[in-house]
Amino acid sequence: MGELLLRGASVMAGYAAVPDPVQDGPLRTGDLVRLDAEGRLYFVDRAKDMVKSGGENVYCAEVERVLAEHPGVRDAAVIGVPDRRWGEAVKALVVTRGETTPAELDAHCRARLGAFKRPRWYEVVEAIPRNHSGKVLKRELRAAHDPGTAVRLPEGG
C-alpha cells in the first residue's frame, strides 16, 4: 500500500495560490491505494485519515467499517486524538441505536481488529457532521475532542 502519485502532461496546471504544484516531482494526491496481483488499483483511504498510534498505521475507514457492522451503530466516524503514551490514539464517534455502550463496541472491535487498531476513546453523539456531499467533517471532530465528554477505555483486555 502507498500514496498515489501522478505525473504527466495532463495532470494539472496548478492552483491559484500555487502556480506549479508539481515542479519538484509528481503530484501527491493524498490517496492511499493498493495494487492487486492482476494489476488493479484499489482506493484504501486518505493519508490524512490515517492515525499513527504507537508507530502503527491505523486506517480510519477500516475501523469505521467494523463499527458499522455492529447492529447498535447507526453511524460512525473515526479520528486520531493526542495521546501521551501512543502519540495518537484512535477515537470513535458513534450514533447509536438504543443503549449500545462503549464496552459493547470495544468487544465488537476486539473480535475483528488488531489490538493496536481498536478505538481507545468512544463518544456517543447525536449526529456525525457532514458537508453537502456527505463527507465527514473530520477537522471539526478533531477540533471538538474533549476528554471530559468521551470515554477512555483501559489499555488491557
Sketch out the chain's domains with CATH numbers. Answer: 2-35 (no CATH), 48-152 (3.30.300.30)
- Exposure pattern of 63-95 as b/e (b: 16+ CB <10 Å)? bbebbeebeebebbbbbbbebeebebbbbbbbe
In the Cβ-directed half-sphere of 2, how many Cα atoms lie within 13 Å? 6
41 three-class SS: strand
Confidence of residue 21 (pLDDT cuts 50, 70, 90): low
Q: How is residue 71 written as a grid cell?
A: 447492529
User: Cell 491505523 belongs to which residue?
Assistant: 58
Supply the pLDDT for residue 25.
Answer: 72
Supply the pLDDT for residue 15.
Answer: 63
**Is 70 exceeded by the pLDDT of residue 142?**
yes
8-22, 102-116, 139-153: least confident range: 8-22
To the nearest whole number, what is the mean pLDDT of the chain?
87
**Is 70 exceeded by the pLDDT of residue 20?**
no
Q: How is residue 21 written as a grid cell?
A: 504544484
List, for residues 77-94, the tens digit of each pLDDT value.
Answer: 999 999 888 889 999 999
User: Cell 447498535 belongs to which residue?
Assistant: 72
Q: Is pTM beyond 0.95 here?
A: no
Judge contact between 120 and 88, C-beta under 8 A.
no
Which of 87, 79, 66, 61 has its CA nearest to residue 121? 79
Please give the sequence-ordered ranges of beta strands (E in DSSP) within the chain, or none if there are none. 2-6, 27-35, 41-46, 50-53, 56-59, 73-83, 87-96, 121-124, 151-152
**Is 90 exceeded by the pLDDT of residue 126?**
yes
Q: 53: exposed, middle or buried (C-beta count within 10 Å: 0-12, 13-18, 19+)?
A: buried
Supply the pLDDT for residue 130.
Answer: 94
